[in-house]
Structure 1
Amino acid sequence: MRWMDTLAREAERRLPTPVLTYFQQGAGAGLSAAEAEASWDAPRLLPHVLRDVSAVSTRTSVLGTEVDTPVLVAPTTLQRQAHEEGEVAMLRGAAAAGSLVCVSSNAGVPFRSLTDFGPWWVQAYVLRDRKLTVEMLDRARTAGARAVVLTADTPVVGEKYGTGPSVWETVPPEHLLTNVDGQGVAEARLEKAADLTPAAIDWLRTATGLPVVVKGVLRADDARECVAAGASAVWVSNHGGRQLDGALATARALPPIAEALAGTGAELYVDGGIRNGRHALIALALGATAVFVGRPALWALTVDGATGVERLLTALTAELTHAMTLAGTPDIPSLTPDLVAD
């Protein structure tokens, strides 16, 4: 058994039940969450032969940042419930593996504590109070965030079903929204904005001076509109199956979006059910610039902190390297759509 396959079960033994439930659950009946991994297992590959693969490189760049691996870490909240160092440990582990982290705007540590670690982006939920949003992003930019990731699929939070106490009833307040100054602010102003349009992309870019990535895109027409509005990249995601249940698996949504963005210069990312190097190879061949993992990184953080995160990302990159070798593809640019059978 792969070490990575033991992580979820080991994390189950360590996490408080409400936190474990929150990390695991999808929205509604859990249809989208349940089919994510299988959707990457379905495609079949057409490997090249007689190609020089004596040296295989996974090095690439994302929005101008050089990374040793295209396997990156997606934003997740409550990381201090997984490990006492929270996002600090996540960044340390990712940096040691030559990767990059997208840090949640709901982070449990101050952005300023992340300055001395590896490259990171900040994920943004735009709040009803735009001023609070800009102040939060200003803190991130000052601390070294290199891009803003606008989560676009959450005008409201997808309904989750469960029994027992909610995670929000059990988590200390200091583990949430550490970088949003909500003191004395009406709770309604801290809710997510439901009135966003493509104009929000240029607004964020102007307010922060950083490139903007739009996360939560599943449609080719939306992807084109995001890039036309100024997005530097589009992130194909159904939020880990945590928003609209029954939303299309990202493995199926990726190809038409890649086709729609061809020639635009925009980068393209994908998450959702990527659990091994073969999955990553398929995503990259289908047009992704990089792939992101969410829950596996949380499990690794829970089990062994920064060391666990480094080991996870290093292992996934090693699997990707192995798959690339067998596919006759010595570098990331050689991963092309014809490697995946129709």
Structure 2
Amino acid sequence: MEKYISVKEIEEAALSILPKPARDYYKSGATEEQTLAENRTAFQRLRIRPKCLIGVTQCDLRTKVLGHDVSLPVGISPTAMQRMAHPEGELANARAAQAEKTIFTLSTIATSSIEEVAEAAPDAIKWFQLYIYNDREVTRNLVLRAEKAGFKAIALTVDTPLFGIRRADVRNKFTLPPHLRLANFDGVLSTKIRSTKNGSGLNNYVENLFDKSLTWEEVKWLKSITKLPIIAKGILRGDDAVKAIEAGCSAILVSNHGARQLDGVPTTIEALPEIVEAVRKYNVEVYLDGGVTTGTDVYKALALGARMVFVGRPALWGLTVGGQAGVQRMLNIFRTELEYTLQIAGMYFVFAVLQLLLTLPKIWFAMSRPTVNYEIK
């Protein structure tokens, strides 16, 4: 694994290995995939303003997230059906997070169950990503199982009344390979995704399963059935972030679902400053995922107010090329790049001053000035 020295190299290797249906499923975005590309290039438009000769003596990446200690501010986002990438799938990914002392998030539509992941990585900080089903008993059961298995938070996905149009999946008539199942379910809910008459088998699977009528009242219902903190995942607007907090969420995950839901939405790094400002008086944590591929990307998100950054596809690429070792290599590339960035930029993580000069794209002009200096003290 040491031969890979960047996340990009791991990605290229993984894409050369994966079968076409799985490869296209993991890497594709919604419709024209404009936001998919912008998720990355938006980071590239941000400029770091280094401070020189500040006397760097240490660089400590440790922080606390929802009261739990993590060794670096990079965790693993939920991604579905990971056994398409590697036979151990989510188990290997969770073990990697455990070894690197960071957070692993398990998808509702995983190919390893809540209980299997808990057994494989008992000491990992584990979050459970939740979709709310029309059948509330299905949802309740998932939440209670996660709490019983020692998961530390529920990441409620709020941007998915239905899955977006992903043309590669439609073209491929994507289905889960027949030797795999959605392990958190029994019966038809675990196997229905293995076949499709037309279009994406995943979209056909969730049709009539997800509750499109959800409002923020459902957060109050969730809080009535669990003591776990609830994270609103999929927020791109300040007003929605406030509604989530006022409904009872403990944190906000700024996310556009890997640009897989609706093309043309803001990138997550563009949306982050508005959301951080909107919830400032509530003293809650804000996280980000989407388009993060380098340690400098992580640095920029932290500078704009994110407490933690999560990566989904990079974890899949690491899983594909090397199982647990591949995911750990991916995390350690981020760790090294972030350490170098922090020291060369001239700041101590968390305690010192960070300055960024932002050149924001036109979509953001209506909400902010085109050039902004940010300072975090």
- In which range does the TM-score fall when normalised by the shorter chain? over 0.9
Question: What SS does structure 2 have at the residue aligned with 1:330?
Answer: coil
* Match 2:97 to one of 89, 94, 113: 94
Question: What SS does structure 2 have at the residue aligned with 1:122?
Answer: strand
Structure 2 residue aligned with 1:39 = 42
Structure 1 residue aligned with 2:164 = 158
Task: Give, in angstroms, the shift of residue 11 of structure 1.
Answer: 1.2
The range that moved more, 195-204 or 295-304, is: 195-204
Residues 206-226 of structure 1 show CA distances to partners (whole Å, capped at 9, x for unaligned) of 212100000110000111111
**2: CA distance between counterparts of 1:321 and 1:74?**
21
Which one-letter code corresponds to 2:241 in the other structure? A
**2: CA distance between counterparts of 1:63 and 1:164?**
41
Structure 2 residue aligned with 1:124 = 130
The answer to whether 1:331 aligns with 2:368 is no
Pairing of 1:260-339 with structure 2 (within 5 A) = 260-334=278-352, 336=354, 338-339=355-356
Which one-letter code corresponds to 2:226 in the other structure? T
Residues 15-63 of structure 1 show CA distances to partners (whole Å, capped at 9, x for unaligned) of 1111111001101111111111110111112222333321111101111
Structure 1 residue aligned with 2:80 = 77
**2: CA distance between counterparts of 1:238 and 1:84?**
28
Q: Give the root-mean-square deviation of aligned CA atoms.
A: 2.0
Tell me the TM-score normalized by structure 1. Answer: 0.94
Q: 1 or 2 for the larger relative contact order (CA 8 Å, sep ≥6)?
A: 1
Structure 1 residue aligned with 2:174 = 167
**2: CA distance between counterparts of 1:101 and 1:199?**
27
How many residue pairs get aligned? The number is 339
Tell me the TM-score normalized by structure 2. Answer: 0.85
Task: Give, in angstroms, the shift of residue 181 of structure 1.
Answer: 3.7
Question: What SS does structure 1 have at the residue aligned with 2:263?
Answer: coil
Task: Give, in angstroms, the shift of residue 3 of structure 1.
Answer: 3.6
Structure 2 residue aligned with 1:55 = 58
Task: Give, in angstroms, the shift of residue 149 of structure 1.
Answer: 0.4
* Match 1:141 to one of 130, 141, 147: 147
* Match 1:9 to one of 7, 12, 24: 12
Structure 1 stretches of 5 or more lacking a match? Answer: none
Maintained 8 Å contact 1:111/1:179: yes
Instruction: Label 1:192 to 1:182 Cα distance change in 2 as closer, same or farther (>3 A).
Output: farther
**1: CA distance between counterparts of 2:319 and 2:125?**
18
Structure 2 stretches of 5 or more lacking a match? Answer: 193-204, 359-371, 373-377
**1: CA distance between counterparts of 2:337 and 2:245?**
32
